[in-house]
Every structure is written in structure tokens, then in C-alpha cells.
Structure 1
């Protein structure tokens, strides 16, 4: 990866983080700048604590209703927006909006925080992508819970037109079947996925948001091999 691509998340480049934030905000004017800044800060902290440098970053803003396109995928090297689209939340996280989140298996709720996208596979939903949650107690049971990115026929504009929202998953960030291949191919192999919600307890306790090495418990950070 080019040196310039590594700079935004370097431990010595706070001003470069601001430059990246400004550039990505320009190419994605619909994203909340606070949400994007939080995602960049969490990603930088993860890299400084041993997570591999990402080439791409996905941001999901669960504070938005599911009828709105609330998934963004950025190319960090080229500072470009690759995709913006709809994404589902878990059926027990809310109806039109998601307001409840969980790390518990069987909860059928979405989880928030920083994830690392891992291997692609073909399962019951077709071409899919496994996620590892990087935040202990917040999302680190994602693999055990089978929280993956997959395509779904209930994630599209037709559902929004008919019901005022898209369908809901069992906790997975499901996307439109028409874009799932693009999403998976852009994120597999170690890219970062950041799911945001203004949960005050998480915002004040997350090791990635505070960049507190003791809170991070580095042994839980999973590097790509």
C-alpha cells in the first residue's frame, strides 16, 4: 500500500486525519461529519494498536431510519466514495429506526462499534462476508452470532415505497442483492466496518473512541494472517 494511504491513520498525523475527514466529507456530503470523524478516529486507534492498515472503510449510521441510504464505503487511498446504499438492522433493534443494540446471541439485534471484515463465503443467503467485532463486550461475539454482510430481497427501494422502510434482519447488516457482490469484494480481507449510533454509554466507554490501550485489551484485536 502506498505510503500516502497509510498516513491518515498514523499515530503522528492528527492534522492528516482532518484532511482526510474534509476530503471524504466533500465526496460524501450526505454523511454526518461527526459520524465520519468518529469512524476515522476509531480506525486510526485500531491501526495504532495492531490492526492492519485498511484500504477501505465502511460506515453505517444507524441513527438514520432504514428508508435512507445509510451505508457508505470509502476508498481511503484514493479518497473516493465507492458506494452509498441502504442497509438493514436487526428486527429487535427497532422498526423504522434502530434504537436497541446487543452483543448477545439470539437477540436478533444489531451491534455497533468497529468491526473487521474477514473472509467471503457462500451460505444460505448466497455470497456473504464474515465480520469480526473488535470491541470487547460491545460486538466481539459477532462471529459467534453469525453477524455477516449478506444480500436480501427486502433491502431495496420497492420496500421503502411500499412500507416506508426496508425489511429487517436477525442482526446482520443486510444489503440489496444487486450490490452485495460490490460490498463484499470491496471489504473482504481485513477492511474496517464502523457502525454508529449515539449510544452515550458506548461513546464514553469505547476504547477505540477514547484510544485507551487498557480498555482496548489488545489481545482481542484480530490481525489478518
Structure 2
């Protein structure tokens, strides 16, 4: 018990000492501030403000003026014109996809283009049964009609993802009069076995979709990574 009293007494003594030291410090500090305030301050030296730095406004839609290698220049220019025309609805304009249906399904005709540097990733893509009834491997016609099972042309907005008949897929919104039924027709991006590269070796062409942009099963992740939501796909055939 005596030991506990001694500890308490020692602690109180320590606190009193600390308070005294702190009080001295406070007084010294206040006195120093009083003296410095009483002195006449030197006039401040004006420091010139740095000139304002303009923040660059990047316009990706105009960044790539020259068609990337492997894409027809006239097709690329029409895709860029569509991007300008629908710019208010395309919130991501750094990359686009271009489907060149003037080529047979055995060719790499679906191009994902980085508009900043022109880098392009190209892959196979199928067209619709209604666009090639005889299964020649060449798209014969486009259609925007419901139940036509045909591919439609124009600019599309890549919308949200969902899991459906073909597993993970991405909805597309048609932005032109030639494809404005795309959402009602369930024209989407999905993977399909009949779009795999081994179909070319076996049959010389891909199978056909019901109008959707069907890519190879190993290519779907690349499409979703590079295209994502909010970007544009442009599809046409004109040579």
C-alpha cells in the first residue's frame, strides 16, 4: 500500500513539473510572438504568378486521320464520319470496331482499332443466315427486319452485358435507320463454335449466326476487353 502511495505521489510530482515546464514554454512562445509582432515587417516581395496552363482537349475521333493498315481507307473514313455524327451518344471515343462485310467470312474482317495510335486487332466474325441463304461465305444482303435473321449495317452502340442463350453476350443499340431494330431483334455480340478458326480449315468459311456479330470462343474476352461498353461498332459492305 505504501509503495502504491509513493508511485501516485511521484506521478503527481512529475505532472506538476511537466505543467511548469509547459507553462514556461507557453510564456516564452507568446513573448517571442509579441516581440515579432511589434517589429515593423519588411514589405513582401511580389512573386509573379505563373502563366495559366491550358488543359489540352483530346478529340479521339480526329486522332487517327489515316486508315490503319489492313482497313480500307474509304471504309475507315465512313466509320469516322459515323463516329462524328453519333458522337453525342458515344461516350467512349478512344477505340472503335469496324466490320468489313465486303470480305468473305474466311477473312479477318472484324477490326478493333485504337484511334490514338492506330493499333488494330483483327479477327473472324460471322454474318447472319438471312444475309447468306445459300451459305456461300459472302454476305449477300443486309436487313433490319425482325425475324429476317440477317446482319444489319450502320453504327451500333455497344451496350450492357448479360448471360443468355450464348452465355456471356453484349447488347447492341442501332443508331441508324438501317439498324434501329437491333435491340428488338436481339442483335448482340457473342461467341460461337461455328466462328472458331478451325472452321476455315474444315469448310473454308464460318458458320452463320441469326444476324449477330458472332466471334470465336477464344476471341470473346479480347472483344469485351478492347470494345467494352459505350463504344461504337460500324458495319458495312460497300467497296
Of residues 13, 21, 24 in structure 1, which corresponds to 2:65?
Answer: 21
Match of residue 107 from structure 2? 68
Looking at CA atoms only, which structure, 1 or 2, has the larger radius of gyration? 2
Cα pair distance change 1:114/1:3, threshold 3 Å: farther
Are 1:189 and 2:229 matched, yes or no? yes
Match of residue 109 from structure 1? 150
Q: SS where residue 20 of structure 1 aligns?
A: coil
Match of residue 208 from structure 1? none
Name the structure, 1 or 2, with higher relative contact order (CA <8 Å, separation 6+).
Answer: 1
Q: SS where residue 195 of structure 1 aligns?
A: strand
Range 163-172 or range 38-47, more displaced: 38-47
Cα pair distance change 1:50/1:146, threshold 3 Å: closer
Cα pair distance change 1:57/1:151, threshold 3 Å: same
Cα pair distance change 1:123/1:50, threshold 3 Å: closer
Question: 2:75 & 2:208 partners in 1: Cα distance?
Answer: 23
* Post-superposition offset of 1:100: 0.9
Question: 1:89 & 1:50 partners in 2: Cα distance?
Answer: 26
**1:65-94 Cα shifts (integer Å, max 9, x gaps):** 00000000012234322x210000001101
Match of residue 127 from structure 1? 168
Aligned residues: 182
What TM-score do you get using the length of structure 2 for normalisation? 0.71
Question: 2:98 & 2:140 partners in 1: Cα distance?
Answer: 17
- Please give the root-mean-square deviation of Cα atoms over the aligned residues, in Å: 1.9
Aligned residues of 2:197 and 2:216 also touching (Cα < 8 A)? no
Question: 2:56 & 2:205 partners in 1: Cα distance?
Answer: 42
- 1:48-59 → structure 2 map (5 Å cutoff): 49-59=88-98
**1:85-119 Cα shifts (integer Å, max 9, x gaps):** 00000011012100211111110000000000010
What TM-score do you get using the length of structure 1 for normalisation? 0.75
In structure 2, the gaps of 5 or more residues are 1-54
In structure 1, the gaps of 5 or more residues are 10-16, 200-225
